[in-house]
Amino acid sequence: MAQKLVAVKGMNDILPPDSARWEWFEDKVRGLMRRYGYANVRTPIVEPTALFVRGLGEVTDIVEKEMYSFADSMNGDQLTLRPEATAGIVRAMVEHNALYNGPLRVWTMGAVFRHERPQKGRYRQFHQIDVEALGYAGPDVDAEQILMCRALWRELGLVEGEDVRLEINSLGQSEERQKHREALIAYFEAHAPLLDEDARRRLHSNPLRILDSKNPAMQAMVEAAPQLTSFLGETSLAHLDAVRAILDAAGLPYRVNPRLVRGMDYYNLTVFEWVTDKLGSQGTVCGGGRYDGLFEQLGGKPTPAVGWGLGVERLLLLLEAVGPAIEPPVPDAYAVIPDAAALPVVMRALQALRDAGVKVQMHSSSNADRGSMKSQLKKADASGARHALIFGADELAQNQVTVKSLRDGSGQQVMQPLADVSTWAATLQSLT
């Protein structure tokens, strides 16, 4: 036998029965987006490398060490597998002048790629739900997006405050960050012996990122560093207060975390994360914030915007740990067909049932022997179907089928006509 091929490290196959949880989750997300008026968009998985270097910032973890970048073997173009969705969406909006008629609320769902050390909740290909409100400046939309996350948690059966908690912060505007930056550099310089290599490298390029350091040896020093909050002007503070007032009125508890900075450089004003302590160090399920400068940075007109991204694998791990059990979907009916000669007639009837909305699984086998009536009925039972459709010789001679109840304990059998399945198809369907 030829040698087996395996998936690329850190990239997962999603197979049944696990895929049922994915579909269940995706259905909930689609419903949520419709209720909040967000329209679906889809952008390419591969983008010019420059998009992310310019969009995310050169001195970010993602751009420095996590991108899958390569030269197009045909023309040498520098390309990158998208490490996140926002930059591509903004590129598309600018390219198509899509905000010409006014602001847009959009969302997407798909694979993103980061070259990280694979571990539980951290993969090299993973999936994000990404939600963006483009062209809106007000704190109402920031709050809408945060509350939208809460609505999703509730629908998924997660308990806020227990399974997931909200942290928010304001990153202010660039002049405020500039002043804070100067104060930070002065502070870190005064504590230079305590800085690790990463921090020393970032001291002048991106000192704010040092606040995000996970090095335990630096924690105490980092915690005492000057906080951006004390550099925020009136307008920035008012924006944060307005977001908070809406969250307060909605009864949503949160913690203002002055050290929350997020992993991309494009954020300003509101930033937020939904965190859990049930997934070890992979504790951030969802994060987002305002990025009013990104459109201009990518060659567009100044356009205020706010968005969030959710890690689907992490959320599903959390749901597995604390959420409701998800039963894989089962067929309404399983077709038992002992005689292969009957297949043309039977399959025509099954088609009519499916056209009427019934979920039908047909008995098939791996060899010419289809198996006895008895063994097929066993398969019907194992399939989880609520009914067996028995296409035996006697039934077919009368142009009928026997419908046998498999789940209600009655074992009841009823003959139904094949001539007009629409009159009885509904009796096979489950309510869900």
Distance in Å, CB of 119 to ligand ATP, minimum: 9
Asked if residues 80 and 12 have their Cβ atoms less than 8 Å apart, the reply is: no
> Mask: binding to ligand ATP, 78-97, rule CB under 6 A, as x and -?
------x-------------
Interface size with ligand ATP, residues (CB under 6 A)? 18
Torsion of CA 142, 146, 149, 153, to 10 degrees: -170
Distance in Å, CB of 3 to ligand ATP, minimum: 29
Pick the binder of ligand ATP from 142, 144, 313, 332 (CB under 6 A): 313
Contacting range for ligand ATP; rule: CB under 6 A; set: 18-26, 93-101, 113-121, 337-345: 113-121
Asked if residue 132 binds ligand ATP (CB under 6 A), the reply is: no
Asked if residues 146 and 247 have their Cβ atoms less than 8 Å apart, the reply is: yes
Asked if residues 198 and 209 have their Cβ atoms less than 8 Å apart, the reply is: no
Q: Which two tokens stand for residue 291?
A: 């990025």
Asked if residue 108 binds ligand ATP (CB under 6 A), the reply is: no
Asked if residue 122 binds ligand ATP (CB under 6 A), the reply is: yes
Asked if residue 285 binds ligand ATP (CB under 6 A), the reply is: yes
DSSP letters, 5-18, are --PPTT-----TTH
Q: Which is nearer to ligand ATP, 148 or 388 (CB)?
A: 148
Nearest-CA neighbor of 208 among 261, 282, 165?
A: 261
Mapping DSSP to helix (H, G, I), strand (E, B) and coil, where does residue 284 land? strand
Asked if residue 215 binds ligand ATP (CB under 6 A), the reply is: no
Q: Which is nearer to ligand ATP, 240 or 317 (CB)?
A: 317
Residues 6+ away with beta carbon under 8 Å from 375: none
Asked if residue 263 binds ligand ATP (CB under 6 A), the reply is: yes
DSSP letters, 71-99, are E-TTT--EEEE-S-SHHHHHHHHHHTTTT
For ligand ATP, the binding residues in 160-179 under the rule CB under 6 A are: none
Asked if residues 386 and 332 have their Cβ atoms less than 8 Å apart, the reply is: yes
Asked if residue 57 binds ligand ATP (CB under 6 A), the reply is: no
Asked if residue 266 binds ligand ATP (CB under 6 A), the reply is: no
Amino acid at 277: D
Pick the binder of ligand ATP from 64, 116, 155, 160 (CB under 6 A): 116
Asked if residue 403 binds ligand ATP (CB under 6 A), the reply is: no
What residue spans of 12-138 are helical by DSSP H? 18-36, 49-56, 61, 86-95
Q: Which is nearer to ligand ATP, 116 or 424 (CB)?
A: 116
Give contact residues for ligand ATP (rule: CB under 6 A). 84, 114, 116, 121-123, 126, 128, 263, 282, 284-287, 309, 311, 313-314
